[in-house]
Amino acid sequence: MSIVVTGATGHLGRHVVEQLLEKVPAEEITAVVRDETKAADFAARGVKLAVADYNTPETFDGLFAAGDKVLLISGNEFDKGRVQQHRVVIDAAKAAGVALLAYTSAPGSLTAALADDHRATEEVLLASGLPYTLLRNGWYHENYTENLAPVLEHGAVVQAAGDGRVSSAARADYAAAAVAVLTGEGHENTTYELGGDEAWGFAGYAAELSRQTGKEIAYNAVSVEAFAGILTGAGLPGPLAGILAGVDASIEKGELVVSSGDLSRLIGRPTTPLAEAVTAALKG
């Protein structure tokens, strides 16, 4: 039996593999990657590598074995039909008879277009009859803290979320939840709504940045249309800018507040505070 992680060299996947290495022998972990060279550090530590691509179904033939536990990390190629990509993995997992397939989805409360592929993938997974776990990941601190340069340069946090709040957590927290499911028992056919312990708003985020940098940083709330324009001006493709601006509209409606407590319960500790993520980003 292997624990198999797809997208293993992505931001979330790396955290998952690193944390798995703290809990299980390396030879029990298989990292699914598109480019072996990006996973050379994992291979050097004894992790098995499997080269496969969501866009090439035959690369998943024979990749899984009966009894494996699989983490399907959702793809990030919004323009390539993510539901079909995910179906490739689910079909291969079903053919092999894996013991569990966990999928990184989006909160059940999220109605933004970003959630459409996740809802459709959940339907495919449930229809497959595989034992499943839905890890409905909320927003990541890093969605904001990894893009601090323009904020610091202009002295402003610019979003289209009004006074809406976000229950975000660190990528490492969501990874820890996935590891708990992959290495634990009793998670079959379960849905977890995952989010940070503390919901926060962007005015508070701007205030925290001001406090930690000593600079005056304001929160400028703009319209969804204006925000989409800012994102395309920064080089994002129009469709992706529209999707991200749509998430802000959902934040204003409270759709990214996750109050289930599932994340801290699964990981057995409080989630990482936003202030801590800001500190780490400013040091980095």
**147 compared with 183, residue with greater pLDDT:** 183
> What per-residue confidence (pLDDT) applies to 95?
97
> What per-residue confidence (pLDDT) applies to 81?
87
- Evaluate if residue 130 carries a pLDDT over 80: yes
N-term to C-term CA, the chain: 38
- Strand pairing report for 100-105 and 29-33: unpaired
Contacts of 159 (CB under 8 A, 6+ apart): 202, 219, 220, 221, 222, 227, 248, 251
- Strand pairing report for 165-166 and 200-201: antiparallel
Helix (H/G/I), strand (E/B), else coil: 104: strand
> What per-residue confidence (pLDDT) applies to 279?
97
User: What number of residues does the chain have?
Assistant: 284
CA nearest to 59, candidates 82, 88, 36 = 88
How far is the CA of 165 from the CAs of 20, 157, 162, in angstroms?
32, 14, 9
pLDDT one-digit tens code per residue, 246-265: 999 999 999 999 999 999 99
Range of lowest pLDDT (71-85, 111-125, 156-170, 190-204): 71-85
Q: Widest CA span of the chain, in angstroms?
A: 57
Specify burial of residue 173 (Cβ count, 10 A radius: 0-12, 13-18, 19+). Answer: buried
For residue 284, name the pLDDT band (cuts at 50, 70, 90): confident
Percent of the chain with pLDDT over 90: 95
For residue 180, name the pLDDT band (cuts at 50, 70, 90): very high
pLDDT one-digit tens code per residue, 202-219: 999 999 999 999 999 999
> What per-residue confidence (pLDDT) applies to 1?
84
- Evaluate if residue 128 carries a pLDDT over 80: yes
**CB contact at 8 A, 170 and 278:** no
Determine the Cα–Cα distance for residues 43 and 55; give it in Å rounded to an integer: 24
Rounded to two decimals, what is the model's pTM? 0.96
Determine the Cα–Cα distance for residues 261 and 198; give it in Å rounded to an integer: 10
Which structure tokens are listed for 282? 């400013």
pLDDT one-digit tens code per residue, 44-88: 999 999 999 999 999 999 999 999 999 999 988 777 789 999 999
- Evaluate if residue 269 carries a pLDDT over 80: yes
Name the residue with tokens 């179904």.
Answer: 57
> What per-residue confidence (pLDDT) applies to 223?
97
In this prediction, residues 23-50 reach a mean pLDDT of: 97
For the chain, the C-alpha Rg in angstroms (whole number) is 19
